[in-house]
Structure 1
Amino acid sequence: MSENLARQFLIREDVVFLNHGSFGACPRPVFAKYQEWQLELEGQPVEFLGRRLTDLLREPRIALAAELGTTQDNIVGLTNATTGLNIVAQSLDLKPGDQILTTDHEYSALEKTWAYVCRKTGAEIVVVKVPLPLLTEAQFTDTIITGMTDRTKVLFLSHITSPTALLFPIERSIAEARKRGIWSVIDGAHTPGHIKLDLDALGADFYAGNCHKWMMSPKGSAFLHARPEVQGLLNPLVISHGWTAESKQPGARGAFGNSPFIDEIEIQGTRDPAPWLTVTAALDYRRDNDWDSVQAHCQALAQDTARRLGELTGLAPISAPEFCAPQMVAMPIPDCDTDQLKLDLYDKYSIEIPVFKWQDTCICRLSVQGYNSKPQMDLLLEALTDLLGLNAAANRRTA
């Protein structure tokens, strides 16, 4: 299966690409549709951007909303999840002494976002340490709820964490935040197309996700979801044609007939809308290729590779399998110069994979997508065995 699927992607054949999680990879049929949209735009830019764009942007909103368990009025297209989360973080009315509760597993760009907001507002960031290995839902949820206080105004959590590839069980934490009047803001950058989402049932106030990662649409396609009750809290990062002076009045409509939430964020001057318009093609591609079966195969391959590496290193995993992202796993490796190891993996074995130190743990983060294969996993283990001297270490353990 992987060999046939590999031919449907544009990944260079001389690279063993095990880093789908960073920026994704777009299948050839989806990429072709992306280029069709770009060519159509260039054929008559004024008609495309000036007269047709609002209607064109609606179709992927409808298709994506159905996929994500919500309605088209609750999501808006963006270039990436970081943009959506910045819109939320910079819109909320925070004051000196207010607290943003988060974990020690968050994406560095968003850590900087909240630090920026705190510098402007006087709010404070409170970081709770999630106990590892993560073995139960209660272990996670109890840690989060214990961190909540009367000063907590925002709960900011990743759904799937970037450095540790953990699937956080966030449902009860969100429900508790709602009961306490705490805004819940969820970083779902790795989640769409990776796990099944029902955003309305999840109940987070704000949820941002990328489509260009595991959903495999072109780079620059993402969304922000906001519950209807909190959409009025948001302000666009850029004031442009979609804004109206009456946008905060009850029942107001945006400049292009949608809600202010959609028009103010969606219409922000000249940009290439082709990535967002191609989301529908990406959803079609997944359905046409039985992607549920592909994902099941990838999950099995990822977990098997992590198990095999653990047997070589003697290091325990950082979570039970159910709390590991299905197609992405953070594999602990012996203490090493992670920057040099990453370079050696690429220079000597043509393996593209993130290697870094997170807190006190050295991690090799493996992503497995439909274009990957077991021989590639075997090569990764061979390379790590060589570069880290794992055979010698295993021999010492059994001596």
Structure 2
Amino acid sequence: MSDNLARHFLLREDVTFLNHGSFGACPRPVFETYQAFQLELEREPVEFLGRRLTENMAVPRRALAAELGTSADNIVGLTNATTGLNIVAQSLDLKPGDQILTTDHEYSALEKTWAYVCRKTGAEVVVVTIPLPLVEEAQFTDAIIAGMTDKTRVLFLSHITSPTALVFPIERAVAEARRRGIWSVIDGAHTPGHIRLDLDALGADFYSGNCHKWMMAPKGSAFLHARPEVQGLLDPLVISHGWTADSKLPGAKGAFGNSPFIDEIEMQGTRDPSPWLTVPAAIKFRQENDWWAIADHCRALAQDTARRLGERTGLAPLSAPQFCAPQMVAMPIPDCDAPAIHTTLFERYGIEIPVFKWQDRCIARLSVQGYNSKPQMDRLIDALSELLNLKAPEAA
């Protein structure tokens, strides 16, 4: 599988790249489309940015909406999920005593975002500990619902967690938040292209995801989704030509004829929109290569690698397989100098993989994409075994 697919990617041949989850990797055909947009922009910047941008920006919205189960009117294009989540966090009307309910598995940049918001508003973050190993949906949902109080204004959850590579079963928690009048804000940075999404069915108030990771679009392509009923709550981080003074009035239009949600947030001054415009090409590449079937192969390889390493470490996985991200798994390793192991894996073995300490666990977070192979997994296990003094299990 991987030999044929690897030719589509631009990754260095001297590096075993097992870290697709951090920034993704863009296939060659998609990258060429990206460069074509950039060249078109440079050949006539005023035509591209001044006369055609509004029309061009709508094309990815329509393609992505069809892929994610929503309307194009509910999506805006951004550079990354962190930006989308900052727009939400800094727009919501919070005050002293209000609580943001979240978990102990969140991405550090967003932990800082909510800390900043709390410093400005007087609200506070309440962190729920999710029991591990995660083996059933009720473990997660019961812990979240138990943390809800009459002071909870925001429920902030990762759909797929960054440090622990878990798929949180967020559906019942989101529904309960809606029932209680709590805003639900979902960090979907790792989700588009990784698991199938139906945003309207999920019903979260706000959902931001990256297209540059598992959807394999260029870096700088992401989206913010908001239900129509809550779009009026949002303010842009940057005030530019899309803003209008009457944007909060019922039925108001943005400066370019779309809703204020789209025009105010998408227009943030001059920027290169080429990554966002390339999203339809990324979706087409995935469809033409039956990428969901490839993802199934990747999941099997990831789970097999985690199982094999677990036999050497004797450490239990963080979850049952159904709660592990399909193409990404956080593999516990023995206590060690994680930054040193990370550096040595790259410098001595040419293996690019995150190794870090999360809470009291050392973790090697493996990503498996279509360009990866079993020999690469063997190389990783052999390298970790050598560095951590792990022994192969004895044959039965």
TM-score range normalised by the length of the shorter chain:
over 0.9
Q: Which residue of 2 aligns with 1:11?
A: 11
Q: Which residue of 2 aligns with 1:196?
A: 196
Q: Which residue of 1 aligns with 2:153?
A: 153
2:93 & 2:242 partners in 1: Cα distance?
22
Deviations 1:148-194 (A, max 9, x none): 00000000000000000000000000000000000000000000000
TM-score after normalising by structure 1? 0.98
Q: CA RMSD in A?
A: 0.9
User: Gapped runs of 5+ residues in structure 2?
Assistant: none
Q: Which residue of 2 aligns with 1:22?
A: 22
Q: Which residue of 2 aligns with 1:126?
A: 126
2:189 & 2:352 partners in 1: Cα distance?
20
Amino acid at match of 1:278: T
2:310 & 2:15 partners in 1: Cα distance?
25
Deviation at 1:269, TM superposition (A): 1.1
Q: Which residue of 1 aligns with 2:173?
A: 173
Q: Which residue of 1 aligns with 2:106?
A: 106
2:357 & 2:253 partners in 1: Cα distance?
48
1:292 & 1:234 partners in 2: Cα distance?
34
1:354 & 1:195 partners in 2: Cα distance?
21
Deviation at 1:381, TM superposition (A): 0.3
Deviation at 1:293, TM superposition (A): 1.2
**Secondary structure in 2 matching 1:197:** coil
How many residues align structurally? 395
2:121 & 2:72 partners in 1: Cα distance?
32
Q: Which residue of 1 aligns with 2:252?
A: 252
TM-score after normalising by structure 2? 0.99
**Secondary structure in 2 matching 1:247:** coil
**Secondary structure in 2 matching 1:90:** helix
Q: Which residue of 1 aligns with 2:205?
A: 205
Q: Which residue of 2 aligns with 1:279?
A: 279
1:81 & 1:62 partners in 2: Cα distance?
19
**Secondary structure in 1 matching 2:391:** helix
Q: Give the 5 Å matches for 1:18-97.
A: 18-97=18-97
1:383 & 1:171 partners in 2: Cα distance?
39
1:341 & 1:267 partners in 2: Cα distance?
43
Deviations 1:314-373 (A, max 9, x none): 000010000000000000000000011001101111000000000000000000000000
**Secondary structure in 1 matching 2:91:** coil
1:242 & 1:5 partners in 2: Cα distance?
41
2:262 & 2:86 partners in 1: Cα distance?
16
Amino acid at match of 2:225: H
Q: Is 2:380 aligned against 1:380?
A: yes
Amino acid at match of 2:26: C
**Secondary structure in 2 matching 1:94:** coil
2:250 & 2:342 partners in 1: Cα distance?
54
**Secondary structure in 2 matching 1:329:** strand
Deviation at 1:268, TM superposition (A): 1.3
% identical equivalent positions: 80
Deviation at 1:53, TM superposition (A): 0.2
2:109 & 2:181 partners in 1: Cα distance?
26
1:31 & 1:12 partners in 2: Cα distance?
15
Q: Give the 5 Å matches for 1:177-188.
A: 177-188=177-188
Amino acid at match of 1:161: T
Q: Which residue of 2 aligns with 1:326?
A: 326
2:235 & 2:188 partners in 1: Cα distance?
20
1:150 & 1:177 partners in 2: Cα distance?
11
User: Gapped runs of 5+ residues in structure 1?
Assistant: none
Deviation at 1:391, TM superposition (A): 1.3
